[in-house]
Structure 1
Amino acid sequence: MNSSGPAYPLASLYVGDLHPDVTEAMLYQKFSPAGQIMSIRVCRDVITRRSLGYAYINFQQPADAECALDTMNHEVIKGRPIRIMWSQRDPGLRKSGVGNIFIKNMDESIDNKALYDTFSAFGNILSCKVVCDENGSKGYGFVHFETQEAANRAIETMNGMLLNDRKVFVGHFKSRKEREAELGAKAMEFTNVYIKNFSEDIDHEKLKSIFSEFGKTLSVCVMTDERGRSRGFGFVNFENHGDARRAVTEMNGKELNGRVLYVGRAQKRLERQGELKRKFEQIKQERIQRYQGVNLYVKNLDDSIDDEKLRKEFAPYGTITSAKVMTDGGHSRGFGFVCFSSPEEATKAVTEMNGRIVSTKPLYVALAQRKEERKAILTNQYMQRLASIRAIPSPAIPTTYQQSSGYYMTSVPQHQVRSFYNTVPNLRPVPRWTTQAPRTQVPNTEPAVHVRGQEPLTASMLAAAPLKEQKQLLGTKRNFSDTIVLFAVGENVSFQKKKVSEAIILLAAEHCSGCVFTVCVLWMG
Structure 2
Amino acid sequence: MAVNNSQTVVGGGPTAGGVPAGSLYVGDLHPYMTEAQLEEAFKGFKGVTSVRLGRDTATATNRSLRYGYVNFTTPEEAIRAMEVMNHSMLHGRVIRVMWSHRDPDARKSGIGNVFVKNLSESINSVELEEMFKKFGRTLSCKLAMFEDGKSKGYGFVQFESEESAIAAIEKLNGTTVRNKQLYVAKFVRKSDRVFPNPDVKYTNLYMNNLDPTLKEELVEEKFSEFGKTVSFAIAKDDHGNSRGFGFVNFANPDDARRAMEGMNGSQLGSKVLYVARAQKKAERKHILRRLFEEKRKEQMLKFKGSNVYVKNIDDDVSDEELVEHFSQCGTITSAKIMRDDKGISKGFGFVCFSTPEEGNKAVNTFHGKKLITCICCF
Partner of 1:95: 110
Amino acid at match of 1:309: E
Amino acid at match of 1:215: G
How far the C-alpha of 1:142 sits from its partner, in A, is: 1.0
Rounded to whole Å, the distance in 2 between the matches of 1:130 and 1:83 is 13
**Percent of residue pairs bearing the same amino acid type:** 35
Partner of 2:176: 156
Partner of 1:272: 284
Rounded to whole Å, the distance in 2 between the matches of 1:138 and 1:340 is 60
How far the C-alpha of 1:179 sits from its partner, in A, is: 7.5
Call closer, same or farther: CA 1:352–1:200 in 2, change over 3 Å. Answer: closer
How far the C-alpha of 1:249 sits from its partner, in A, is: 1.6
How far the C-alpha of 1:357 sits from its partner, in A, is: 0.8
- The structure whose RCO (Cα within 8 Å, separation 6+) is larger is 2
Rounded to whole Å, the distance in 1 between the matches of 2:361 and 2:373 is 14
Rounded to whole Å, the distance in 1 between the matches of 2:116 and 2:248 is 34
How far the C-alpha of 1:32 sits from its partner, in A, is: 6.7
Amino acid at match of 2:266: K
Q: Output one character per residue of 1:135-185: Cα deviation in whole Å (capped at 9) or x when no partner.
A: x99955312465635972996325749xxxxxxx7643442489833x314
Structure 1: runs of 5 or more not aligned: 1-7, 23-28, 35-41, 43-51, 162-168, 370-525
1:199/1:259 contact within 8 Å kept: yes
Amino acid at match of 2:110: K
Q: Output one character per residue of 1:16-75: Cα deviation in whole Å (capped at 9) or x when no partner.
A: 3489x99xxxxxx998779xxxxxxx9xxxxxxxxx9779999798xx886564235468
Call closer, same or farther: CA 1:74–1:234 in 2, change over 3 Å. Answer: closer
Q: Output one character per residue of 1:345-399: Cα deviation in whole Å (capped at 9) or x when no partner.
A: 32332233222112xxxx2322378xxxxxxxxxxxxxxxxxxxxxxxxxxxxxx
Partner of 1:141: 155
Question: What SS does the corresponding residue of 1:142 show, helix, strand or coil?
Answer: strand
| 1:231 aligned onto 2:251 | no
Partner of 1:126: 139
Question: What SS does the corresponding residue of 1:296 show, helix, strand or coil?
Answer: strand
| 1:341 aligned onto 2:354 | yes
Call closer, same or farther: CA 1:32–1:286 in 2, change over 3 Å. Answer: farther
RMSD: 5.1
Q: Output one character per residue of 1:383-440: Cα deviation in whole Å (capped at 9) or x when no partner.
A: xxxxxxxxxxxxxxxxxxxxxxxxxxxxxxxxxxxxxxxxxxxxxxxxxxxxxxxxxx
Amino acid at match of 2:274: Y
Partner of 2:226: 214
1:318/1:340 contact within 8 Å kept: yes
How far the C-alpha of 1:271 sits from its partner, in A, is: 2.6
Which stretch of structure 1 is more off in the superposition, 329-338 or 171-180?
171-180
- Give TM-score, length-normalised by structure 2: 0.64
| 1:365 aligned onto 2:374 | yes
Amino acid at match of 2:97: R
| 1:353 aligned onto 2:370 | no
Decide which of 180, 185, 197 is 1:172's aligned counterpart.
Answer: 185
Rounded to whole Å, the distance in 2 between the matches of 1:227 and 1:220 is 19
Partner of 2:208: 196
How far the C-alpha of 1:116 sits from its partner, in A, is: 3.6
Partner of 1:246: 258
How far the C-alpha of 1:237 sits from its partner, in A, is: 1.6
Q: Output one character per residue of 1:253-285: Cα deviation in whole Å (capped at 9) or x when no partner.
A: 111223211111122333323322322232233
Decide which of 315, 318, 341 is 1:306's aligned counterpart.
Answer: 318
How far the C-alpha of 1:322 sits from its partner, in A, is: 1.7
Rounded to whole Å, the distance in 1 between the matches of 2:97 and 2:264 is 53
Question: What SS does the corresponding residue of 1:356 show, helix, strand or coil?
Answer: coil
Decide which of 72, 80, 84 is 1:71's aligned counterpart.
Answer: 84
| 1:84 aligned onto 2:98 | yes
Structure 2: runs of 5 or more not aligned: 1-7, 15-23, 30-34, 37-42, 53-66
Correspondence list, 1:397-416, <5 A: none
2:265/2:272 contact within 8 Å kept: yes
1:320/1:339 contact within 8 Å kept: yes
Greater fraction of residues in helix: 1
Rounded to whole Å, the distance in 1 between the matches of 2:131 and 2:346 is 66
Amino acid at match of 1:95: G
Rounded to whole Å, the distance in 1 between the matches of 2:254 and 2:200 is 10
Amino acid at match of 2:13: L
